[in-house]
A = this chain, B = another copy of it.
Amino acid sequence: MAKIRMGPQTWVFPLPTLLVGANVDGKPNFMAVAWGGIVNSTPPMISVSLRRNRYTNKGIKQNGAFSVNIPSTDLVRETDYCGIVSGSKVNKVEACKFSVFYGKLGNVPLIEQCPVNLECEVVHTIGLDSHELIVGRIEETHVAEACLTDGKPDVTKIKPFIYTTSTQQYYAFGEVIAKAFSIGREIQSE
């Protein structure tokens, strides 16, 4: 297929839409983050990249901990809002009518309406250029009971969504296309 060179771009598909939370000066705040994902299997670790001057980043530094909340498509309006405004100016929890709860770590705010919540303790902070890469060890995972099938989180019930940088749109998940660590074996046996 004919290809065009388009320079350095942040074009990875899919990117997640995460609500990263921290208590800032003792009060819960959340921001929308697409620069994030799993970085270690054993023990489970996640990274999120935030600009240094972000209000949420201040709270992460104060507590050495943060939360990652996975919103469902029902919360796309609230999630986008958390990516537009700063907690230094508005109370996003009130504006979005989030119910906040605390879990194992005690100082990490979690959004009740998000079907999946991760509590993370900061283990590395790496200064990049525009952003800081923050690696957290996942200490606890909360999942809505209603979003489990056979005891496992089921994305058809969680309804998470995708962010695309090229067109700045949110997408829903589509259909299952294959079983991992399985369909590839067809090639092995050829």
* Residues of B with C-beta under 8 A to A13: 16, 70, 116, 153, 155, 158, 160, 173
Copy count, this protein chain? 2
Min CB distance, A7 to chain B, in Å?
6
* Residues of B with C-beta under 8 A to A138: 8-10
Interface centre among A96, A160, A162 (most CB of B within 10 A): A162
Interface string of A117-144 (1 = CB under 8 A from B): 1100001101011110101011111111
Would you call A93 an interface residue if the criterion is a C-beta within 8 Å of the partner chain's C-beta atoms? Answer: no
User: Given A160-B13, A175-B171, is A7 in contact with B49 using a C-beta cutoff of 8 Å?
Assistant: no
* Residues of B with C-beta under 8 A to A160: 13-14
Across the interface, do A40 and B131 meet the contact criterion of CB distance under 8 Å?
A: yes
Across the interface, do A145 and B3 meet the contact criterion of CB distance under 8 Å?
A: yes
Interface string of A5-27 (1 = CB under 8 A from B): 11111111111101000000000
Q: List 6 A-B contacts (CB under 8 A).
A: A4-B143, A5-B140, A8-B141, A163-B180, A169-B176, A169-B180
Chain A residues in the interface with B (C-beta under 8 A): 1-16, 18, 34-47, 49, 68, 70, 73, 76-85, 95-96, 103-104, 112-113, 115-118, 123-124, 126, 128-131, 133, 135, 137-146, 148, 152-155, 158, 160-188, 190
